[in-house]
Structure 1
Amino acid sequence: MKRIYPAFLLWLTSMGTMAQGAPAFTFENESALSQWTATGGELSISGEHYKDGEKSLCWEASNGDVMTASFNALQTSGAAFFYVYNCKVSEDVLVIDFMRNDDVKRTAKVALNFRGWRDFDRLYSEYTNGGVTTINKVRFSLQTSDSDKKKIFFDSMNFNATANSSREHGYHMILDREQLTGGTSRLDIYANPIDIAGEPTEEEIADFEAIRDNLKEKLDFNPSGNITSINAARQYAKGFNIVRNEDGTVRGDVIDTRANSEMMSVDNLKTLSKHVSALAAAATKATAKDSDKELFENFIDHLLDQGIAEGIKYKIAPNTYTPIKEVPKGFLQAMDAYTPEQRVEMLKMIKWLSEFGMAFYPEGSYLNRFDSDVIYTYLPTFFGYVISQPTVKEGVTQLKAMKRFLERNTEYSLGGRDILKPDGTGFHHSTHYNNYMYSYKVWVEYINYLKGTSFRISQPAYERLKKAIVSEYIMATRTSGDTRHIANSLCGRNPFGQGGVSVQFTKNLFADMISVGGDIMGKEMDEDLAAAYNYFFMSDRYAVPEQKYEGFYPFSYGRLGIYRMDNWVATMRAPTAFSFGAEIYSGQNRFGRYQSNGTLEITYDGGGLNVSGYPTNNGAGWDWNVIPGATTVHTVAWRDLMPASNTTGRHDAFGLAGSYAGALASKDRECGIFVSDYGQVAYGDFKYNTNLKFKKSVFAIDGMLISLGSDISALGTYNSEMNTATNLFQNIISSVSGPLVVNGADISDTYKETDNLDNNLWMITPHNTGYYVPKGNDAVEIIYGEQKTPNQNGSDADNPQTAAVAAKAFINHGFAPSNGSYEFVVIPNTTKDKMQDLAAKFGDDGGEIYKIECHTGQLHAVTYKPKAVTAYTFFDTADDIAFGHIKASETEQLVLLKESGTGMNTRLDISVSNANMRDESNSTWAFLPQPTQTSITVRGNWKLADNMEGVSIKNENDETIISYELSEGNPIYFTLIDINATGLSGNAQLAQWVYLSQDSTHKNARLFFREATKQGTVLSVYSSSGTLFYRTVLPEGMTSYSLDNCSVGNGVNYVQVVQAADSKVFKWIR
């Protein structure tokens, strides 16, 4: 076995005859003791244990004993490094004083809570008194709780060392944790106290044992090895030349366990893990040889001795998806082959390696630590650790912690932190990221393992995760299987790739979730989720009432609006100052700059990407300039579209400060608005020098999407051939495509025309999406034909290799526009006849279908005439609005107003939200949304049909001001009715039976009845909100009745007279 030594140890060895007084020590000969003295205890050079060469310093000491090393004075600008070996886990403490003569300058404490070798690698600045000073002596003191003699070994000491920049302080450094300034993240996690106590119940014990036995098979946690792998493992272990010392401890060849050493590489640790599993298989089989049992036990003891244990310097990041599963696996598979002591120590290593201490974050400190990668990659190891506990009691405790961990991770984190958000989106990299929500797969898998036991997750946790899963499906097309896809604007850094646009949460897992929900709710299934299954999978598997997920769905944290009907999904998305619209990595998504730049994409049910006109080969053949719905600057050279014009520079495409995007749906989801206010960041070397800006809105209703854009500008210094465009569509032609239709004419051959829009234009894409572009827009470029474009990895940017036939169209705003605008309507899943009919109805200015009320940089407003709904997109404060019911808006916000009824029975159903969440930068949460105090002013005197908490109303000057607070993009819904409306139905035939007269003071009133009252006539007096002030039964035969102190000033607003169950009359007090 080749020994692997740290570089500085090799240097020390070469200096075997160091000058007397040097502050560094190896212990290969007795002369090394010349600078050491012991006050109590004995010092010797020993070959029992070593971490460098074949010998070390042995100090046999008891409580209160001291040993001291003296050396030439040095300044404390570096670090102290040494290895320390402890024979047995204890509560003893090693105190280390760094001194100038007899003056203590630094003090460190090492907890001897381990067995084997550990390193001390600490900067002199990592102390309470951390300033530079001078030392010439180090004193070691032993503190124990008994009088027994202990052997402690030291090796490779250097008191003027350079600290390893990748060092990780182990649990033996816990006593000085508050002084340590780096390399403590894993220590902190490991040290989280176990806060779950109590004796397990009989039910918990039985449930744990059932889960353990099931998972042991499911997770393949049994030792694994065939003849070949066992022989290889035998040779590997024998190569360490392990022997037993007289005291039963082991020694053998040194293993370099420093951070970044060769042994600490992924491949070597995976190999080691597999060898451990293979040797365990050999040692535990029925015909196991004694030699295999001995070799396995010696090998494990040697690994633990050398520091392949708690504190191991290998750090598995959660985004290294395979190692976190494979490195611990062999050690877990061997669990039943370990001695009881080895098992305890190996479990400590698994806990350290997998950072299982995350399950014990204290209350109030876990919410900002969620990571979707941890859910995806760590759960198998976590559960392996749980079921491997030495006792059932410990197993129950750890399983309770895992149940809580699964539940906690469903809680809604703030701002930009992972994972779940209250709107149903899932975050990673500080943005909504469907691709990374493959974590849902593993999450539900392990939640399902707990089904039917006392460890099942809580219903609130289940409901949050259920909402996230359903939300992902709402964003996607439908199919009977697992080939559904989302819009490419949601692809992250995987354009048109399997991981980027496919929904990875499977049909089988969806069914598992339905069963999990039923178990939690105490019934056969979660009927709501079962109905969702039937809809999304076009199935009748579950006998539950039908539920369609159609209509408009806003996802405020996702900066996203979804409008889905029939067989299609419309996806609208844009970047903001805190949520990127594209993630661009080295060799990934190199042309993705515009992939969600105010996009409007139409995708269709049926499985494959080609059904929606998308490319099926990771984007090759796709024109990266022409992103549907997006406003972009069309580059001439593909290289100019890449960040830094190369294939490597990482880049997240955020918007300028103040950029925002979001959506609002009506309460019944019948309609909705998407908005984007965007400015492009210059990004310096990334060559985003066009300064592109725009404001856009989409009003979705009745299967149509009315799109407006304004304030479009691109005032930078760049190639004059680069025109700014608002892209309508791009379809890649495939076997499922039809012709492109332009004003009724079929096009299926090379075509390139510019329509200057002297007349209205309508088109149907080869995938049946209609576009209506009224005259008055900038010219529309319409193209059908072959195009060659580069692969998304950028490898052929200068000479694209992939050709595809495409149909595309865009509104050309020209070079460097300063105040561009557009208007168009999208009608998915249409036909020639339908489009021709709609085009006629649209006529000029929307015709009988819609009216553009306002189209400025301050306000986009559209009225949909058939349903009397007006959509207001306020980009700023607005006053003296000349149309409709709303006269003013205090701030930017979205408003949907639907009018119904006439006269006093008029109702205004209003939906409001602010898509601008007013995010502010935050060091803990990336960003935090801030609330908006705002209002709208409505013409006339109105009141709320129902009192609403947080919504106030004020009537003055024949206007009504409604004030409220908007936050996190959440909607508020309220209804206004005429201030004189009672909400009571009257009998028109009896309306004149009662009349009312007030005296000159308007304080008193008298009721007159044209016909005498009948027996049982009831008189009631109410306030405007319907509060009953007074009620009496009038005597039969009355023709009048006096009401004293009955005035508006006294809170009275109307009286009601009821003669019979079906005849009532109300009169207002004036």
Structure 2
Amino acid sequence: MIKSLRFLILAFILFSSPVFAQLQVDICENTVPKDWKANYGKLSLSTVHAKMGKQSVKWDWTDQNASIGIIDKDFAKVADDPRSTFVLWLYNEKPIADQLHFVFYEGTKATYKFDVNLAFTGWRTVWVMYHRDMIKLADGGVDKLEITAPASIKKGTLYFDQVLNYVNINPRSPMRDLQVPFVNLEGDKAANAHWNSLYQFNANPGYLPLEASVSEKQKKQFTQITNRYIKLIEGKKTVNEQKSLDSIKKEFAFWDIKRDKGNISGRVIYSVNDIELSGNEVLAKAKVANEKSNVKRYAQLMLAVARLHHQTKSQLIQSETAKMYLDLLDHMEDQGWSYGSGMGALHHLGYNLADYYNSCLLMKDVIKQSGKLDRTFKTMYWYSGLGRTLAEIDQLPVSNIDVFNTLLGSMLSSALILDDTPEKHRYLKHFSNWMSYNVKPNTEITGAFKPDGAVFHHGTLYPAYGVGGYTGLAPIIYVLSKTEFQIAADAHQSFKENMMMMHYYTNSTRWPISVSGRHPTGTWRIPDMPYAYMALSGSPDGKETIDKDMAAVYLLVTKSQQNAYAKRFLNAGIKPAIYPAMHWTLNFGLLDIHRRNDWLLTIKAHNRYIVSHESYPNANVFGRYFSYGQLEVLYPESQKDIASNFKDKGWDWNRIPGTTTLHVPLDLLRADIKNVDDYSGVEEMLLTDEPFAGGVHLNKQGVFAMKLKGHDKYKMGSFKATKSWFTFDSLVVALGSDISNHTKEYPTETTLFQNYLNDKSDVISINNKNIAGFPYTQNKSVTTVLDNRKIGYYIPAKQNVVVYKKNQTSRDQKDLQDTKGDFAGLYINHGQAPQKQAYEYAMLVAIDQAKLDAFAAQMKTNKAPYTVLQKDSIMHRVRYNLKNITGMAIFASNKNLNDQYVVNNSKPCLVMYEEQKDKLALAVVDPDLAFSDKEDDTPRNPDGTRKEVSVYSRDWFKTPSRPTVVTLTLNGLWKKLDGDNKDYTVEYTKDGKTLLTINCKYGLTTNMSLGK
């Protein structure tokens, strides 16, 4: 789970609304509210049921026409606030097959109404937005509410608590349930639908037939799956059971659960979302109260009780734990944590309720003996959203990392708690089919796993969330493996490939800062246990009982090779994985990956579909430039002094290596974080209107390029640059052109490196002269630099280069404290308001001074390792002379290209080719993922500048990437060689040229082998 989730939920609440919501008030601790009047009935205070404090308002009615009239000064706020919401808690002792009616008036004119279904027992809450969810009866405001009793019964009783006639809340939060099925209907299509669509999931009928019976073989598989899963959740054996029991009793006492005359009462079990109803002036107090008695703490106690009950052999302890557990279970149901209840809002419920489901499974026998198995299953089914698996395959909702991370085990527990019946078999088959569908590559921005191996969350490559997804999925895949409920082989294979890709872009356990999302700490690491579970699941084709690839990665990244998993894999003759020398391009994630020997090099971009960064309050506050071409080199953690260049101690957030940026004061770089629309939370995730960004690879080499454009939000609409990187073995050639903007106040810079110095005397070399002194600056005649991390830089003449060693003052990424640190850096200064400026430099990774000097000398001869053939607005083109490979980033369409082979193109694209004897190896990518068929759909402000909007609000967010066609014209007559792929066709023109029509999709490289 993301470490700062608790804070992020709080931040979400704090900033969700322009007007903070009012405090959850207790309406009835001393007297019935004076502005409440009952007709045909009686209002009184009752201590039998209470949601806040010790009492609630009891309404006994004696006629079908009975009603309550309520007057409140807060009603006056409703008319002018589009987010105004009505909230109440309602207790019902007996289910009623009818509705409670709410009608709001302005004077004698009815303006709004809604109904609440009463077929429940216990507490229920409703959050109903006036302007969106209620039925509008007439124009006007509100000054009175009338609550009318159900007409089908003459006498009845209901209890009210925490009635809020006006509260301003985030419109994404309220969710419909069996009581108010009309609330937030669009929520089923929203980015948080995986939390909020419980009502829709519950309505799915299921598409698989119910078998007449289950076989003995199937029963054995039920047992095998259950035993495997229980082994995962039962926890470590308690050494001192009595001590554990005493601790549990103390925690149980906190909840003050009591039974009296058939009723149960106890401390309120808050949803984490209840705090959304609290005002800013009491937020701290509300947060403390919520944390002390929230449902996560309650569920943790339930699991602790269940684990002790499961492991003990003491009948006395079993008896005590069974009684406590049933009290906990009944109190939870009475509090509203029951089938069909939405608790007002339940976003992020998977994080907070996870232990509840596992506890129920461990306590199945106790629950069944008490006659509450059916009730418990229904509640588990509802909150886990198991019903989502019952939709037809072609109608299955796209699931994201949150589901895999927090709900997968909960869904499985819900199915496993059933007796061994055809119904259980059917649920497990639905669950298996749903998993198979959802782990396959998804071609929308939403969803988790992409065709190129990227793992997505929040609309971007996000391995920090991917860890949670892998940690949730892999154990379940293992639990189901080698049974009829195992996931499909192709799904297994694609998930394995996605996990392998994370292995490729970590070194050896940590991934680049550029893909760290809102957590640029440098401490996040690849998880080891998912690889162990995938290894134990066997190979996707079922031929191997241990997947050797997964086991090898596990042995590489695990912290200990003395544990049971490591020993088992080593005893099977499996060795730790060795990284291949390879190049990968994740164009969904806009990440380029280049590996050689023990080092990893990555480059990160953004475009009109993929956000530049994610900033939250107190998280990555200075991350605006993270995808402006950030280039990182990671060595293994074992090389501690040079493993990474980054430390959040004086780090200059303006000078991120590889990027071209406007160097502004830190106060101007700080993100201005807002809740920009009803589709998003409180975050900054900016998009450009440039579609061109991406890469292509051929024979372990690659080209990556982007057209960079700043965002108008920060007056950077004129900020533009065309950037490219050509990665050949240990060499990177970096080019920039058309660097322009109108900002005269601050300089524009391209940063080559910014390295943390462990010691001020760490040496860098400039023009083969060692610099140990500190501080130091040189800005003239710089041709070669060897930094303190074994990376060399060759800089052609006539560029305004600055190299330095100095102490830097900054702010940490959370913007919580000042930081200081010693750094060495190298950048190119393009000046203020540059117009069509350019740059060129070469990097050589893992090099020494002698090799750098030799390289610089070669660059002055006719045996130069590389040649820049073109660098303008039409194309960046570089030839790698050592291997006869040419890379092309073509930014324009239908141009007469001045190239030996490629002379025309139908649209912007990336091309690489390798010249061989009478052959041409060719690779092509269309970097436009084509989610939208509109040339530009960027929302604009009245002055024409681009408006900040949420990526979730874009109509293409859930649209699949569309295949495209690129046509290239080649000099000469070329033919497709035998056995080459069928993703392109070959035609010939009358003037003796070859016309290639290439089918492109998903940003994947199309490789071709052509011959004369």
TM-score strictly above 0.5: yes
Q: Secondary structure at 1:610's aligned position in 2?
A: coil
Pick the aligned partner of 1:692 from 715, 719, 729: 719
The letter for the 1-side match of 2:226 is R
Deviations 1:832-861 (A, max 9, x none): 2222222221116x7442222211111111
Q: Secondary structure at 1:517's aligned position in 2?
A: coil
User: Counterpart of 1:34?
Assistant: none
Structure 1 or 2, whichever has the larger Rg, is 1
Distance in 1 separating the partners of 2:338 and 2:630: 52
Distance in 2 separating the partners of 1:872 and 1:438: 35
Map 1:409-558 onto structure 2 (within 5 A). Answer: 409-439=438-468, 440-478=470-508, 484-499=509-524, 502=525, 504-506=526-528, 508-518=529-539, 521-527=542-548, 529=550, 541=570, 549-558=580-589
Distance in 2 separating the partners of 1:847 and 1:371: 51
Q: Secondary structure at 2:814's aligned position in 1?
A: coil
1:112–1:390 distance in 2 versus 1, CA, 3 Å? farther
The letter for the 2-side match of 1:188 is Q
User: Counterpart of 1:1016?
Assistant: none
User: Counterpart of 1:589?
Assistant: 620
Per-residue deviation, 1:728: 1.4
1:812–1:456 distance in 2 versus 1, CA, 3 Å? same
Distance in 1 separating the partners of 2:145 and 2:844: 80
Q: Is the 8 A contact 2:673 2:684 kept in 1?
A: no
Q: Is the 8 A contact 1:86 1:152 kept in 2?
A: no
Q: Secondary structure at 2:732's aligned position in 1?
A: strand
Q: Is the 8 A contact 2:91 2:160 kept in 1?
A: no
User: Counterpart of 2:605?
Assistant: 574
**2:799 is equivalent to residue 787 of structure 1:** no
Distance in 2 separating the partners of 1:496 and 1:291: 46
Q: Secondary structure at 1:960's aligned position in 2?
A: strand
Pick the aligned partner of 1:131 from 133, 137, 145: 137
1:510–1:326 distance in 2 versus 1, CA, 3 Å? closer
Q: Is the 8 A contact 2:222 2:420 kept in 1?
A: no
Q: How many residues align?
A: 901
Greater relative contact order structure (CA < 8 Å, 6+ sep) = 2
User: Counterpart of 2:663?
Assistant: 634
User: Counterpart of 1:824?
Assistant: 841
Per-residue deviation, 1:445: 2.3
**2:678 is equivalent to residue 678 of structure 1:** no
1:194–1:838 distance in 2 versus 1, CA, 3 Å? same
User: Counterpart of 1:890?
Assistant: 906
Unaligned runs of at least 5 residues, structure 2: 1-22, 80-84, 105-109, 276-285, 938-953
Distance in 2 separating the partners of 1:452 and 1:737: 59
Distance in 2 separating the partners of 1:631 and 1:5: 49
Deviations 1:598-652 (A, max 9, x none): 122222234466323424xx511333332222112223x3323222499x99654
Distance in 2 separating the partners of 1:657 and 1:441: 36
Distance in 2 separating the partners of 1:485 and 1:688: 35
Q: Secondary structure at 1:424's aligned position in 2?
A: coil
1:157–1:973 distance in 2 versus 1, CA, 3 Å? closer
Distance in 2 separating the partners of 1:638 and 1:55: 54
Q: Is the 8 A contact 1:907 1:976 kept in 2?
A: yes
1:423–1:240 distance in 2 versus 1, CA, 3 Å? closer
Q: Is the 8 A contact 2:47 2:55 kept in 1?
A: no
Map 1:693-712 onto structure 2 (within 5 A). Answer: 693-712=720-739
State the Cα RMSD in Å: 4.7
Q: Is the 8 A contact 1:563 1:700 kept in 2?
A: yes
Q: Is the 8 A contact 2:519 2:620 kept in 1?
A: yes
Q: Is the 8 A contact 1:898 1:908 kept in 2?
A: yes
1:127–1:67 distance in 2 versus 1, CA, 3 Å? farther
Distance in 2 separating the partners of 1:836 and 1:520: 51
Deviations 1:721-748 (A, max 9, x none): x322221122222379963222222222
Per-residue deviation, 1:674: 0.7
The letter for the 1-side match of 2:489 is Q
Pick the aligned partner of 2:1008 from 974, 978, 985: 974
Pick the aligned partner of 1:69 from 45, 66, 69: 66
The letter for the 2-side match of 1:964 is I
Deviations 1:146-187 (A, max 9, x none): xxxx99643449999669966654335569998999997332
Q: Is the 8 A contact 2:357 2:414 kept in 1?
A: no
1:178–1:377 distance in 2 versus 1, CA, 3 Å? closer
User: Counterpart of 1:803?
Assistant: 821
The letter for the 2-side match of 1:171 is L
**2:921 is equivalent to residue 917 of structure 1:** no
1:621–1:288 distance in 2 versus 1, CA, 3 Å? closer
TM-score under structure 2 length normalisation: 0.77
Per-residue deviation, 1:218: 2.9
Distance in 1 separating the partners of 2:384 and 2:289: 15
1:294–1:834 distance in 2 versus 1, CA, 3 Å? closer
Per-residue deviation, 1:79: 7.3
Per-residue deviation, 1:705: 1.4
Q: Secondary structure at 2:722's aligned position in 1?
A: strand
Pick the aligned partner of 1:211 from 222, 225, 233: 225
1:581–1:56 distance in 2 versus 1, CA, 3 Å? closer
Distance in 2 separating the partners of 1:511 and 1:932: 39
1:389–1:153 distance in 2 versus 1, CA, 3 Å? farther
The letter for the 2-side match of 1:170 is D
Q: Secondary structure at 1:876's aligned position in 2?
A: coil
Pick the aligned partner of 1:286 from 315, 337, 341: 315
Q: Is the 8 A contact 1:413 1:420 kept in 2?
A: yes
User: Counterpart of 1:366?
Assistant: 396
1:305–1:474 distance in 2 versus 1, CA, 3 Å? closer
Per-residue deviation, 1:425: 0.4
**2:750 is equivalent to residue 726 of structure 1:** yes
Pick the aligned partner of 1:660 from 676, 692, 704: 692
**2:956 is equivalent to residue 940 of structure 1:** no
The letter for the 2-side match of 1:589 is N
Deviations 1:762-781 (A, max 9, x none): 222211112111224x1211
1:73–1:266 distance in 2 versus 1, CA, 3 Å? closer
**2:353 is equivalent to residue 346 of structure 1:** no
Q: Is the 8 A contact 2:440 2:494 kept in 1?
A: yes
Q: Is the 8 A contact 1:26 1:155 kept in 2?
A: no
Distance in 2 separating the partners of 1:792 and 1:291: 49
1:935–1:756 distance in 2 versus 1, CA, 3 Å? farther
Per-residue deviation, 1:86: 5.5
Q: Is the 8 A contact 1:321 1:377 kept in 2?
A: yes
Deviations 1:204-257 (A, max 9, x none): 2112223323433431389998453454467557x565323xxxx436679698
Q: Is the 8 A contact 1:343 1:390 kept in 2?
A: no
Deviations 1:111-150 (A, max 9, x none): 665444546776788899752399989573559xxxxxx9
Q: Is the 8 A contact 1:941 1:960 kept in 2?
A: yes
User: Counterpart of 2:785?
Assistant: 763
Pick the aligned partner of 2:260 from 240, 243, 247: 243
Q: Is the 8 A contact 1:896 1:910 kept in 2?
A: yes
Q: Please say which of residues 203-212 and 651-660 is displaced more in the overlay.
A: 651-660
Per-residue deviation, 1:109: 8.0
Q: Is the 8 A contact 2:125 2:344 kept in 1?
A: no
Distance in 2 separating the partners of 1:730 and 1:848: 28
Distance in 2 separating the partners of 1:790 and 1:175: 47
The letter for the 1-side match of 2:736 is G
Deviations 1:689-709 (A, max 9, x none): 474211111122232112211
Distance in 2 separating the partners of 1:532 and 1:295: 44
Per-residue deviation, 1:434: 1.7
1:142–1:624 distance in 2 versus 1, CA, 3 Å? same
Q: Secondary structure at 1:512's aligned position in 2?
A: helix
Q: Is the 8 A contact 1:790 1:801 kept in 2?
A: yes
